[in-house]
Amino acid sequence: MVFAVFILSALSFGALGSISVFLKPLSAEFGWSRGETAFGYTVISFSSALFGMLWGYIADRYGSRYFGFIGAIAMTLSLFLLSKNQNIYQFYGLYFLFGAFGNSILTSPLYANVGFWFRQQPGLALGITAAGGAVGQGVMPLCAGLAIGAYGWQTAYLIIAASYFCLAFPIAFLIRESPTRQNPANALEAQQTFVVDEKIAVAWISAAIIFCCICMSVPIVHLVPLLTDSGMPVNSATQVLMLLMFSGAFGRILGGKLGDAIGALPAYMLMSLGQTISVVWFPYLTQGPWLYALAVFFGFTYSGVMSAILVCARTMVSAGFAARAMSITAFFGWLGMGLGGYLGGLLFDLRGNYEWSFAFAMIVGWINLIILTLFVLYTRRQRLLTRRQGETWNS
């Protein structure tokens, strides 16, 4: 299951990461502004957010056995049709399709399933699974950049669609439902034991994750355009993005492992801090070894955040609520990703450079940390109240 969802999430997130590589060729071809083109990332994020909650409900109620097949069809079809794209509304519509029936169905519901296959070290299992998304976001933009350079953007979409068809369908046969989630008797052993009610915990995490994902999405969408604007060839720029994402693969594994070792919430806060203090430096370090060091550090910490969020949902809720919990937090995460991608482009259009875009990303990163700090204080207060009630009951 870890292998299967690793590959499927790599394909899904790889297509999202590739939007940054298609951004400038599409803008040049059709005369779209940077903000208008980047809005395609916003569309895929919003559709993933909306439909993710639907798929989470279905997964909790009926299981996720056939989700791989639906996702494989949606990804292949939308990428194929994108090669025929002629206007911006068609562009938005096809990315909406990819998000609604591809990305949203292959991420949160399947992560929830994987998490409950493991009683020991579920964070590590989720971290390895989620690392697939980082690997995909590193490999696919590089492949897309090479294909665009050799054949143009239309043929590049066709090549990616054919590759997805050949990879996703065989992998979809491997999806199986977790015995813990499938069998009510087993699920009783995995009931939520977190000090805060599971719905309240999900609400706190959801409030923080909006700002966290705005912060991380600005570099994901705009790093390649930023570097090419500074004179770097597109192949070199996609290699920097690949390095960032490959570092993220290790970050996701460590983020999951940290969630097992020190707790999901402290791991989330630690990785968020690294993401926040590093994001602002991208416009000022566009070449040389410091750029690569920054890409490694940001990739490591931002991806660790994503794993820690999954571990929060795994450890703070019951087995029967897990897919919905991950889909709800993903809903707000995708809202943040979509807003960050669009606002980063909008600020570029207003200023003519990316300095404000990345400064804005840092500011919202601090807002995320403030909310998480308040959540920690809330959980400590609830723990203290529970202890006092227990002492009163015993006396």
Angular region, 321: left φ>0, alpha ψ -120 to 50, beta rest: alpha
- The two tokens of residue 122 are 């579920």
- pLDDT by residue (tens digit) across 332-345? 988 898 888 888 88
Residue-level pLDDT at 12:
93
Residue-level pLDDT at 127:
87
- pLDDT by residue (tens digit) across 44-75? 888 888 898 899 889 888 888 899 999 999 99
Task: Kindly state the average pLDDT of the residues 90-107.
Answer: 92
Greatest CA separation for the chain:
78
What share of the chain in percent tops pLDDT 70? 95
Angular region, 233: left φ>0, alpha ψ -120 to 50, beta rest: beta
Angle (CA) 23-24-30 rounded to 5° is 90
Q: What is the pTM of this model?
A: 0.77
Q: How many CA atoms lie within 13 A of 89 on its CB side?
A: 0
- Residue 136 above 60 pLDDT? yes
Alpha-carbon separation of residue 74 from 41, 77, 97, 192 (angstroms): 16, 5, 7, 34
How many whole angstroms from its chain centre is CA 30?
29
Residue-level pLDDT at 194:
65
The domains of the chain are located at 2-178+192-388
Residue-level pLDDT at 120:
82
- pLDDT by residue (tens digit) across 33-45? 877 887 887 888 8
Single-letter amino acid, residue 393: W
The Cα 376–Cα 368 span in angstroms is: 13
- Residue 189 above 60 pLDDT? no
What share of the chain in percent tops pLDDT 90? 38
Q: What is 2-178+192-388's CATH number?
A: 1.20.1250.20
- The two tokens of residue 170 are 């065989």
Which of 33-37, 99-103, 217-221, 257-261 is modeled with the greatest confidence?
99-103
The Cα 162–Cα 92 span in angstroms is: 21
- The two tokens of residue 30 are 């059709």
Query: Coil, helix or strand for 281?
Result: coil
The Cα 71–Cα 172 span in angstroms is: 9
Residues with Cβ within 8 Å of 372's Cβ and at least 6 positions away in sequence, in order, are 208, 265, 268, 269, 272
Q: Count Cβ atoms below 10 Å from residue 120 Cβ, excluding itself.
A: 7
Query: Coil, helix or strand for 29?
Result: helix
Q: How many CA atoms lie within 13 A of 261 on its CB side?
A: 10
The dihedral over CA atoms of 224, 168, 147, 214, expressed in degrees to the nearest 10, equals -10
